[in-house]
Amino acid sequence: AQSVTQLGSHVSVSEGALVLLRCNYSSSVPPYLFWYVQYPNQGLQLLLKYTSAATLVKGINGFEAEFKKSETSFHLTKPSAHMSDAAEYFCAVKASSASKIIFGSGTRLSIRP
């Protein structure tokens, strides 16, 4: 069975600082991994996804994530935070043979001026 753990329910960074949101997964088969973002009062939207084509995945709004099999991680990063990045971020995993996506508990990102 697959699962995903997001370390840190709340992360706060200064504007212009590096953003690092952590995600570790557990899967018995090579997984498909996703990051979704939920801006205040909006629905979830896909930020990026890992499909095994490349370990470094680039998404929208300058975010990227790197798949590290040895560490079972898929951490989300952005070199320089912007105020508009304030949102809830969800990591998700889907095993190739399973039907459903499993989401993590989410990390709320706050940006300090």
Partner 1 sequence: GAGVSQSPSNKVTEKGKDVELRCDPISGHTALYWYRQSLGQGLEFLIYFQGNSAPDKSGLPSDRFSAERTGGSVSTLTIQRTQQEDSAVYLCASTLDRGPTDTQYFGPGTRLTVL
Q: Which chain residues interact with partner 1 by CB under 8 A? A: 6, 9, 32, 36, 42-46, 49, 51, 90, 92, 94-96, 98-106
Report the C-alpha gap between 46 and 54 in whole angstroms.
18
Our CB check for partner 1 shows the closer of 27 and 73 to be 27
Strand partners, 4: 25
Measuring CA to CA, how many Å separate 87 from each of 64, 93, 103, 107, 110? Answer: 16, 20, 16, 8, 7
Nearest approach, Cβ of residue 103 and partner 1 (Å): 4
Our CB check for partner 1 shows the closer of 64 and 103 to be 103
Our CB check for partner 1 shows the closer of 22 and 49 to be 49
Q: Kindly give, in sequence order, each residue whose CB lies less than 8 Å from that of residue 60, ignoring residues fewer than 6 positions away.
A: 47, 48
Nearest approach, Cβ of residue 49 and partner 1 (Å): 6
